[in-house]
Amino acid sequence: MRKTSGAASGSSFARRSASGRSGMTAGLRAFLHSMAPDVIRETQNRVEDCLAHTATEVNEYGFDPFGFHRERAKPFFTACTLLYEKYFRVEAHDIERVPKGRVLLVANHAGQVPTDGLMISAAMLTVAQPPRVARGMSEYWLGALPWLNDVARAMGTAVGTPETCVEMLKRDECVLVFPEGVRGLNKTYAHRYELQPFGTGFMRLALATKTPILPVGVIGTEEQQIGIANLTKLGKRFGMPSLPITLSFPWLGPFGLLPLPVKVHLYFGKPLYFQGSADDEAGVREKVDVVREALATVLQHGRAGRRGVFV
């Protein structure tokens, strides 16, 4: 039932340090050690193999209709997997619950930088059987960020418009959404694990395309950055959805956005199947609340089961 991936597939040093030491240093040490060339090469080969086994169809130049590209994505998925296994030492629980075919993963969003999305992507690629590309639905402004927009697109992410989401679901993809959006991502530390209000868009799309919804509780990333304030107006002036102030950002510059080496758990809930009209406002709201409740339960269960923030 329990599937661990982080320690199990890493080097012996990583395993020892992850279990033996406690606190932040364990994660940092394991991560630095993982920078050894042989570990990187081994991870890269594994990622390549997983990517080759994903079902997403591409054209003769390697692109799928939304810009996903295995070759281009490989180095970034490798980096992601190293973070997954060595830095955050992620454990993915009950990932076999993800049904075959189209599915909508609904997760909590936190921690100022969207590592939660990256970790779920890494889990779906390297742990799930068969491997899948999690198609993240991103904030609108990601599409305008130089370089990052290219990387995100090659890894299968797209700016979250309803039309794109429907097209992806029609192709039986695994789409990842954070219905809290920036409200969740940029909330302050005091509000960690408090689910913010959900948008209803994802439920309409799920109903229209008869897609099962699977709540994914992300434990750990809510503590990766200690958010103390949010300067929404100032952020908007810079073209960002919000400007978070954390213990380290913006005081340390861009480095201040680096997440702490928290221990991350991904809890995959049971798939939820809904029926009804996408235009029934009250009905949609009700169903969204069912998903939110289910995710809250998963989170509660996950928090109760952990030993500490860094172990």
DSSP for 89-149 reads --EEESGGGSPSSSEEEEE---SSS-HHHHHHHHHHHHTSSS---EEEEE-GGGGGSTTHH
Size of the site for other proteins (CB under 8 A): 26
User: Which range, of 21-29, 31-39, 110-118, 154-162, touches other proteins by CB under 8 A?
Assistant: 154-162
Smallest distance from other proteins to CB 209, Å? 14
List of residues 6+ apart from 273 with CB closer than 8 A: 212, 213
Residue 256 interacts with other proteins (CB under 8 A)? Answer: no
Closest by CA to 202, choosing from 290, 114, 111, is 290
Closest by CA to 118, choosing from 141, 88, 146, is 88
Q: How does DSSP classify residue 189?
A: G
Binds other proteins (CB under 8 A): choice among 143, 212, 235, 271: 143
d(CA 69, CA 278): 32
For residue 107, the cross-strand partners are: 216
Binds other proteins (CB under 8 A): choice among 7, 95, 105, 158: 158
Smallest distance from other proteins to CB 169, Å? 12
Residue 140 interacts with other proteins (CB under 8 A)? Answer: yes
Residue 159 interacts with other proteins (CB under 8 A)? Answer: yes
Residue 147 interacts with other proteins (CB under 8 A)? Answer: yes
Q: How does DSSP classify residue 216?
A: E
Q: Report yes or no: 91 and 5 within 8 Å, Cβ to Cβ.
A: yes
Smallest distance from other proteins to CB 160, Å? 9
Which pair of structure tokens corresponds to residue 259? 């997440």
Pick the closer one to other proteins by CB: 140 or 273: 140
The residues in 17-76 that bind other proteins, with binding defined as CB under 8 A, are: 59-61, 63, 65-67, 69
Pick the closer one to other proteins by CB: 171 or 306: 171
Q: How does DSSP classify residue 127?
A: T
Smallest distance from other proteins to CB 2, Å? 37
Smallest distance from other proteins to CB 174, Å? 17
Using alpha carbons, list the distances in angstroms from residue 45 to 19, 38, 152, 219: 26, 11, 21, 28
| CA dihedral of 60, 64, 66, 72, whole degrees rounded to 10 | -80
Smallest distance from other proteins to CB 154, Å? 9
Smallest distance from other proteins to CB 153, Å? 7
Pick the closer one to other proteins by CB: 161 or 300: 161
Rule CB under 8 A: which residues touch other proteins?
Answer: 59-61, 63, 65-67, 69, 140-147, 149-150, 153, 158-159, 161-164, 167
